[in-house]
Amino acid sequence: MRKTYYITTPIYYASGDLHIGHSYTTLAADAISRYKRLRGYEVFFLTGTDEHGLKIQRKAESVGLEPKEFVDGIVAKIKDLWRVLDVRYDGFIRTTDDEHKRTVQWVFKQLYDNGDIYKRNYESWYCVGCESFYTETQARSFPEMVCPDHGKPLERVKEESYFFRLSKYADRLLRHIEENPDFIQPVSRRNEVVQFVKMGLEDLCISRTTFRWGIPVPFDPGSVVYVWIDALTNYISAMGYPFDMERFEKWWPADVHLIGKEILRFHAVIWPILLMALDLPLPKQVFAHGWLNLGGKKMSKTMGNVVDPIELSRKYSLDAVRYFVLREVPFGADGDYTEEALVARINSDLANDLGNLVYRTLTMVRRFTESRVPEPGREEPVDKEFKDRCLALKQAVEEEMDRLRLSSALERVMDVVGKANKYIDEVSPWDLAKNDASRLGTALYYLCEGLRITASVLRPFLVNTPSLIWSALGMPESMDNYSWDSAGDWGIVRPGQVTRRGKPLFPRIEFEDATDGSDAESAEVSAKRKAAGEAGTEAVGSQAGRGKERGLAERAGGQTGTKEAVAVAQDKLSQGADMQVGASQKDEANVITIDQFRQVELRVAQVLSAEKVQGADKLLRLKVSLGDEERQIVAGIAQHYDPQELVGKQIVIAYNLKPAVIRGVESKGMLLASKDDETLAVLTVDRKVKNGSPVS
């Protein structure tokens, strides 16, 4: 009998269209679900909608609709969003479903009969937007008594209500958290909940009489059940509780509730205490992730600062959006969304690293072995090292995914992609093709196997790209026929199978194209390319380098050199990488005039400080002195230099480049460096000169 895995998202409030912040939670749940299915689990992935409350009642009235008619329209849009994002949920629950209503009323009556619910008068401040009550002290701490999340004035509410004895279970909840350290994750959220509970819990208002759009209290039809028992109960009503206990016991307790940190207390305090009162097991884990912010502020339907994920998917591709959402921010932390960051991530990871690797590999197979995967021949240490890195990838991804570290899992994948690009440069198949057919076969076969393994472990995250890589490799069977464990095997690609090099998986995107030329960066990129004499060269993100004629320009990942050295360096600047330029070009089309060269103003600068850019593995932030001014420069050299190693050095920078924002950090200039197959070296002067001195 297969092991089961029950994962949930919050049920989303059906008051308006969802945005990329909501998609963050659901895409994470989808990736985890896909991963668990690949690992052999029987998975149930639940999502849905919370459809009751005063806010929805008022919204429906404002557009002349009945509440049910209003939420039906919203639910249709939400389901369409999940269809566009290819979210494969197993259950979609609505709090207006009859079975859910029946469970809610049963739970309410059970708690009342057990003495855990009582009735009394209640007066408090209330926010319609977040359906939260605030004490007098809390309300007066807000500027002008306006809800800090929704920007709406609080309303004074006075009514007779039913209360749940939340305070009765506080000590029991603290014991459970202490005895089950993984119950609330990340650790910072667990500590937050512990401190909150230790400050003392008040009994919870769980009914309302001031609006009608809700589930009636079973023995008091003048009251409706408030959100806590209504919405939270969805996790067990969807599993049949209490009317289908065989189904319920198969799936409960949930393995993980994925939620945003703003609803942590509801899920880590109120929900487990409700379950304790019902004498039911608690979920194994509540994981509260951070926010995907816009302009430093939480996205909010009420505030209107939202990004439409459907529009993004149509503009940049589904896999690009999925990759960005899952990779950009460590799961659990806050992060900022910008379209510039999305384009930079597409270009650096998907176009220049993954897409380029596929294109380079299949181009060499076509050129050197007539598109057929060759027999592997003699294995040298460099080949074995690459093979071992590929074979270790599956376990590395498992270790990260089992801890819900989705961004780190993708980072492990891209590490191997980077290693593969470096492997090409190390073994130089174009040279082996001249005099060592055995080693050529090994190199090309190992690259094809590396691509197969990469495609296999990308399946939880990307929905189209893995099968495209699989097909390009000429695999004879669908990848659905291959288990997750096959990613840990070697030798599955068959010598002789015919590869198919198609179009680039992820063509590079110029940011000016993405913004219709409205961003100032577009003019900057054009000017830099003109100054570099880039005409007639190819972008590395969409074409493979031909290896033998590799230049010295350093790509922002520090992995692949190509003959289009200057073009690569200039190309990368548009996505926020540093440029380290120094190449010898034989192609007459790449010759520049002295006037073109003079357009680039080079100066000597002294490094005053250096530090890593948060959230960027390859970037350093340098503060440099040019004598009469100081500047900040961002450079993709973190994998080659310890920050403190650079302090005090006099380096050479391109001075007259227009400032660019790289991963949210402004960069005013570009350092120069040289790179061979193994080493990157920042250009310095061989004796001390005045900071700011020109270089000619």
289 noted as active-site residue: no
Cα–Cα distance, 197 to 182 (Å, whole number): 17
Task: For residue 484, give Cα distances in angstroms to 36, 245, 515.
Answer: 10, 33, 39
Cα–Cα distance, 316 to 314 (Å, whole number): 6
At which residue do the structure tokens 């190309």 appear?
Answer: 571
At which residue do the structure tokens 């937007």 appear?
Answer: 129
- State which amino acid sits at residue 415: D
What angle do the packed helices 54-62 and 67-84 form, to 10 degrees?
A: 100
622's CB contacts (< 8 A; 6+ apart) are 607, 609, 610, 632, 633, 634, 635, 646, 671
Q: Which of 36, 130, 205, 394 is catalytic?
A: 130
The DSSP bridge partners found for residue 427 are none
Tell me if residue 239 falls in helix, strand or coil. coil
Q: Given this structure, which CATH class describes domain 595-694?
A: mainly beta
Q: Is 142 exposed, middle or buried (0-12, 13-18, 19+ CB in 10 A)?
A: middle
Looking at residue 677, what is its pLDDT?
60
Q: What is the CA radius of gyration of the chain?
A: 29
Secondary structure of 85-154 as H, E, C letters: CCCCCCEEEECCCHHHHHHHHHHHHHHHHCCCEEEEEEEEEEECCCCEEECHHHHHHCHHHECCCCCCEC
150 noted as active-site residue: yes
Cα–Cα distance, 244 to 103 (Å, whole number): 11
Looking at residue 523, what is its pLDDT?
32
Secondary structure of 7-44 as H, E, C letters: EEEEEEECCCCCCHHHHHHHHHHHHHHHHHHHCCCEEE
Looking at residue 574, what is its pLDDT?
31
The answer to whether 686 and 655 have CB atoms below 8 angstroms apart is no
Secondary structure of 418-467 as H, E, C letters: HHHHHHHHHHCHHHHHHHCHHHHHHHHHHHHHHHHHHHHHCCCCCCCHHH
How many CB atoms sit inside 10 A of residue 186's CB? 18
Buried b (16+ CB within 10 A) or exposed e, 352-367: bbbbbbbbbbbbbbee
301 noted as active-site residue: yes
Q: Which of 150, 289, 419, 675 is catalytic?
A: 150
At which residue do the structure tokens 């289009």 appear?
Answer: 564
Q: Which of 36, 147, 390, 572 is catalytic?
A: 147
pLDDT digits (tens, 9 = 90+) for 496-509: 999 998 888 999 99
Q: Which of 257, 301, 572, 618 is catalytic?
A: 301
Cα–Cα distance, 209 to 222 (Å, whole number): 6
At which residue do the structure tokens 């639910």 appear?
Answer: 75
Looking at residue 513, what is its pLDDT?
52
Looking at residue 131, what is its pLDDT?
63
| Residue of 683, 70, 663 lying closest to 327 (CA atoms) | 663
19 noted as active-site residue: yes
Which residue stretches of the chain have pLDDT < 70? 129-133, 135, 149-150, 293-306, 511-590, 595, 677-678
127 noted as active-site residue: yes
CATH of domain 346-498: 1.10.730.10
Domains of the chain: which residue ranges? 4-116+165-289, 346-498, 595-694
Cα–Cα distance, 209 to 207 (Å, whole number): 7
Cα–Cα distance, 319 to 367 (Å, whole number): 29
Backbone angles phi, psi at 136, to 5 degrees: -60, -45
Cα–Cα distance, 473 to 469 (Å, whole number): 6
Looking at residue 514, what is its pLDDT?
54
| Residue of 5, 31, 7, 23 lying closest to 406 (CA atoms) | 31
Structure tokens at 605: 């600068």
Cα–Cα distance, 321 to 337 (Å, whole number): 11
Quote the CATH superfamily of domain 4-116+165-289.
HUPs (3.40.50.620)
| Residue of 440, 441, 477 lying closest to 456 (CA atoms) | 477
Question: In degrees, to the nearest 5, what angle opens at C-alpha 284 toward C-alphas 283 and 285?
Answer: 95
Q: Which of 176, 298, 612, 668 is catalytic?
A: 298
Looking at residue 132, what is its pLDDT?
67
At which residue do the structure tokens 């059970």 appear?
Answer: 110
Q: Residue 205 is inside which H or E element, if any? A: strand 204-205
The DSSP bridge partners found for residue 45 are 7
22 noted as active-site residue: yes
Widest Cα–Cα separation across the chain: 90
Structure tokens at 466: 């893995």
Q: Is 170 exposed, middle or buried (0-12, 13-18, 19+ CB in 10 A)?
A: middle
Question: In degrees, to the nearest 5, what angle opens at C-alpha 341 toward C-alphas 536 and 659?
Answer: 65
At which residue do the structure tokens 């990871």 appear?
Answer: 349
pLDDT digits (tens, 9 = 90+) for 361-386: 999 999 999 999 999 999 999 999 99
Cα–Cα distance, 529 to 172 (Å, whole number): 65
Tell me if residue 262 falls in helix, strand or coil. helix
Backbone angles phi, psi at 606, to 5 degrees: -105, 130
Structure tokens at 550: 């590799």
130 noted as active-site residue: yes
> Same fold for the domain at 4-116+165-289 and the one at 346-498?
no
Tell me if residue 48 falls in helix, strand or coil. strand
| Residue of 203, 176, 205 lying closest to 268 (CA atoms) | 176
